[in-house]
Structure 1
Amino acid sequence: MTRLSRTADRIATGSRTLARRLAARVAAWCARGRRHDLTGWRAALGIVARCALLLVGAYLLARIVRALPALMWLLTTGWTIAAWRAGRPATEAPAEAPGEGAPPPDREAVHALLLEAMGDADAVHLRTVLAHLQQKGHGEGWTVGDLRARLEALHIPVHAKVKAPGSKSPTRGVRRADLAPSPAAAEEASTAPSTAA
């Protein structure tokens, strides 16, 4: 692969990553407009207002670029630089990608973290888990999608609609019932009394 094709590949990968992040942030911002103290169509008015605001903003930006075409150079340069940074290969980001000799995340430690974030409830939303994780100084820069991918890699089921205490609308989360101990932990628990005897 030539240097030019590697550069183009990195920018393309970064552009996809940026577009996904931007879409996720816009969707989350619009979703936060939902009123939980209202029901029916009135509860969704905030979402509609935010979507309308985005459309007006996009229209105004298009008008400004049409009036000042040279502005497109600035926007393109900014996007390319951001895409270059977002498209950094895993080998250049040791903080995000563990080395080849590093052990995989401990499933039991993840279970403990999820149960800690859950408290006495039967379920917890992924955004709550992510906030809990970031309070402990981990997962900086992660999105809910990043957390979901890591949980699914550990074979921890993530459900699309989970109702958790303190929230009126269901969203992606983990249920306590799915956090059964692993076979290794169950085997250790069953052999513990026999070794003590």
Structure 2
Amino acid sequence: MSRLARPAARLATGSRVAGRRLAARLTAWVARGRRADLAGWRAALGCWLRVAALCLGLYLLWRLVRAIPDLMWLLSAAWLAIAWRAGKTTAAETPAEAPDGPDVEAVRTLLLEAMGDADAVHLKTVLAHLQEQGHGKGWTVGDLRARLEALGIPVHLKVKAPGSKSPTRGVRRSDLGPSPVVAEETSTAPSTAA
């Protein structure tokens, strides 16, 4: 691991977290524009006005950057500072980002446990399972996805799990390899037969 890998990973993680936080705040701000005292399109008019205000703000920012290209340096520096701070808080909250890192086999076992007899499991189900056991407090599905991908466990965009109405992000059993219990049984089966 190079000397710059850890700061680069912190910036990447922080940028992802800061982007999600910004998107969540903007989404919540737009959603607060809906009026409960009205019905139909009039109730959603406030949301549409807020979306229009966001689009106008982005357009004005784009025009400003086009007029003053050096402003991009300031915006980039501000985003780097935000990402650096968000990466620090994420690393402090996450025991999975310890220098040794999490045990991949323990994560595989947890995923297989959450999966049960099914061929796939949604990330929201895994997150609920984790939080029932007292882990991953404050994590979102996106945080869990980032950690799984960092461990080399593929997360698919559309996974259909039993009991779900629509496909969403999840993990498939075929990507995890054979279950440790099945692997033990197959390794001991030939020796008992001999």
Q: TM-score, normalised by structure 1?
A: 0.52
* Alignment counterpart, residue 127 of structure 1, candidates 124, 129, 133: 124
Structure 2 residues without counterparts, runs of 5 or longer: 1-12, 32-40, 54-80
The match for 1:110 is 107
- Code of the residue aligned with 2:23 in structure 1: it is A
SS at 2:114 equivalent: helix
In the alignment, the residues of structure 2 paired with residue 115 and residue 89 of structure 1 have an alpha-carbon distance, to the nearest angstrom, of 29
SS at 2:158 equivalent: strand
Shift of 1:149: 1.4
Relative to 1, partners in 2 of residues 1:193 and 1:49: Cα closer, same or farther, differing over 3 Å? farther
Aligned residue pairs total 146
RMSD: 4.6
8 A contact 1:14–1:88 mirrored in 2: yes
Shift of 1:107: 1.4
The match for 1:23 is 23
The match for 2:162 is 165
Identical amino acids, percent of aligned pairs: 65
Q: TM-score, normalised by structure 2?
A: 0.53
- Code of the residue aligned with 2:177 in structure 1: it is A
- Code of the residue aligned with 1:90 in structure 2: it is K
* Alignment counterpart, residue 139 of structure 2, candidates 122, 142, 155: 142
In the alignment, the residues of structure 2 paired with residue 108 and residue 50 of structure 1 have an alpha-carbon distance, to the nearest angstrom, of 50
The match for 1:71 is none
Shift of 1:186: 6.0
- The C-alpha deviation readout for 1:9-66, integer Å capped at 9, x for no partner, is xxxx979744422425749xx9xxxxxxxxxxxxxxxxx9997663356679xxxxxx
8 A contact 1:126–1:174 mirrored in 2: yes
Structure 1 residues without counterparts, runs of 5 or longer: 1-12, 31-47, 61-82
In the alignment, the residues of structure 1 paired with residue 43 and residue 150 of structure 2 have an alpha-carbon distance, to the nearest angstrom, of 34
In the alignment, the residues of structure 2 paired with residue 94 and residue 49 of structure 1 have an alpha-carbon distance, to the nearest angstrom, of 45
Q: How does 1:52-67 map to 2 (within 5 A)?
A: 54-56=47-49
